[in-house]
Structures are given as structure tokens and as C-alpha cells.
Structure 1
Amino acid sequence: MNIAFKKTMPFALAAAIAVSGGSLALVPGTAMADTQGSTVLSLRAVDNPFNAGADQRFTINEGENLTLSGDITGGFGDVTYRWYVSSDGGKHWDLVEEAHGTSLDLKNMKVGEYIYRLVASDMYSNTAHQDFYVTVKGNGIADSVAEAVSNAVKTGDSLPIAGIAGIAVVAAGAAGVAAKKRREGKEDAR
């Protein structure tokens, strides 16, 4: 019996063809065989063809720049990359416009907690993603006070009066130094 087998298989399937006592293993993709005798075709599911790196965590200061580089590899055919960002812990995601590669440049970052997600998709709609957790810390006393109050509210702890008074003294001292420098500058100008 002369059997001609010519079939395009989706990448999500792997095939082994038994040919007259032997077998011919075919890799995912386009499979073609021309055999004589009995032919057995068996299919099995193949895991997602992507390998994604581990999630990463970064902490930077307000106004700094950061470049995120993903390490998602694999996929079949043309692979596309898209970046998304969430500022609410992953409940809502926004597409980062004009970001289509494995790297993303972040400029002049604002205070907050962000999750950036790199999503890779191949020609068969297999996908993989990698997350980047970015904490942007503020500079200055006001940010420290706001963070202390926020943490106390979250945990139910109370703020010690001495701590609040200490912060107020430091803030008043800084304001006094600034006022003194302004006065000195005016006197020099006379």
C-alpha cells in the first residue's frame, strides 16, 4: 500500500510516525513523510514553547531612570513583545505605547509602586509573560512622614508623639535655615 502523508501540523502538537517496524520522529512545525506499508500517527501535547525568566524587583529614587530587559525566549515563527503597566497591584493593566521589544526604558520615574509586564506571543498565539516590580521612593521629609502615617494606618499602629514632634522640629529647623539664607542673600545684595 502506498500512503502519501503531507500535512501541516500546529506547533502545539508533536508527532511520531511508525514506519514498517521503525519510527520517524517529527519535530513540531511542518511535517511531511512519504512512506510505504502501515503508518501510525500519534500526537501528544507540547508544553508552551516559551521559557520566561524569573520575576524581578527594583527599587529606585524618584526622578531616576531604569531600563527593564526581559529574558523570554522561545516561541515559533515571528514573536511579538508588548509591555503593560499596573499601578494598582495588577488589578488593571495599561498598554505601554510604542514598546515592542524585550527592553523598556523608563525615564524620570514618579513615586509609586508599579508592575511592568512583558508579554511574548508567537505565531500560534502561545504566550508567556514576565513581571517586573518597581518601587519608586520619594526624597525628603514630607515623603518620610507620609510613608510613616501610611504604614501606621495600614497596620493599625499609633504614631508616637515624640516621632511626630521630632519630624516637626526637623522641618522647622530646615525652614529656619532656608529663611536665614534668604535674609543673608538680601543683606549681601544691599
Structure 2
Amino acid sequence: MSNHRAEKSGFAREAQMKMQAKYDPELASQCLSWMKTLLKSRGEAAEFTTDGSASNLHAALENGYCLCKLMNILSPGSIPDKKLAKKETMAFKKMELIGLFCDKAKEYGVPQEEVFQTVDLYEQQNLYQVVVCLSSLARKAQKNGHIGFGPKESEENKRDFTDEQLKAGQGIIGLQMGTNKGASQAGMNIGKTRHIVD
């Protein structure tokens, strides 16, 4: 955690502990390996190890530089080169790069709920969400013809039916609606009959 934040307590601490328990070092290591492979394939420096520990993930990504370089490989020109002229040392510049990466990841197709917030990475608030975002980005990259990992994303299979085909389907009772094959409840008695005496 950042040195500038107070220790959490009570329910906030419980919530923080649950988030930290979700962190998967193996998946984090996969994400870092994927990033390193892509960066090296384009001649970019990838000066970080692929150890999946939370501290290593934070150290590798906290300045936002590698994330933005990765985004420019997947979507060329998405982040201006002048922003990546050097590795930033000032906190607000690092956070700006992380924010840029998050915005461009959404544009690339990563769903909003899988993108992390800047403080999740910079202040180590929720590194699990950072890993979720990177693995989602890897799936999108795979779909767009780049190196990636994870399950293959589904593709749309749009179908167009003619009016005749649609009308033919209206006369068929679907099995989920059930059918009684012509049976009725005629002559059916359940339970004891009620005797009414005058």
C-alpha cells in the first residue's frame, strides 16, 4: 500500500483482505510474460521479471510506461510518442500514463467492468483488477490477430430468416412449452368427493 494512506479498519479492512485474497500470482506471471513477449517482438525494452508476486507486478507497471508501449503495439499510434519519450519519475505523470492506458484499453474493446482504476495499480489498492484487465486485453489482442492467451472469444453468428421461415415456425409448439399429446383431464377424480345433504 501507499505510504500516504491510512491503514484500513473494520469493514473496509475486511473488503481489502477479500480483494487481496483473489490475487492469482500464476495469472499475473502469465500477463507479465505475455507483455514481455510482445514488447520484445517489437524491439522495445522489457526490463522486468515475470515473477507473479504482487510487489513485482507493481514494480513493473507502476510508472505506466510499459503499459502504454504495449497499447501502442496493439493499437499503433493510440498514445502519442511524446508522452513516451522517457520514463516518468513524477507521480502525477505516472498516473497520467496509467489513466491513458485504461482509456485506450476501453477503446480497444476491454469491457468497462474489467478495466482497473489508476489507484488500483499506482497505490496497490486492487492488483487483482489489474490482472483481470491485462488478461482481458490479451484475449482481445488474440481476437485481433496479435499474440495473446486465454480462452478464445466468441464471434457473432448473425442469421437472417425469410418471412416464410418465420411464419413456418409459428405453428410449432416448442418443447419447453410442454405438450399433452391430446390428453385431457376428463373423468379425473382426485381426493374424496364432497357429500352435500339437503
The structure with more helix, counted as a fraction of residues = 2
TM-score, with length taken from structure 1: 0.23
State the structure with more CA Rg: 1
TM-score, with length taken from structure 2: 0.22
The structure with more strand, counted as a fraction of residues = 1
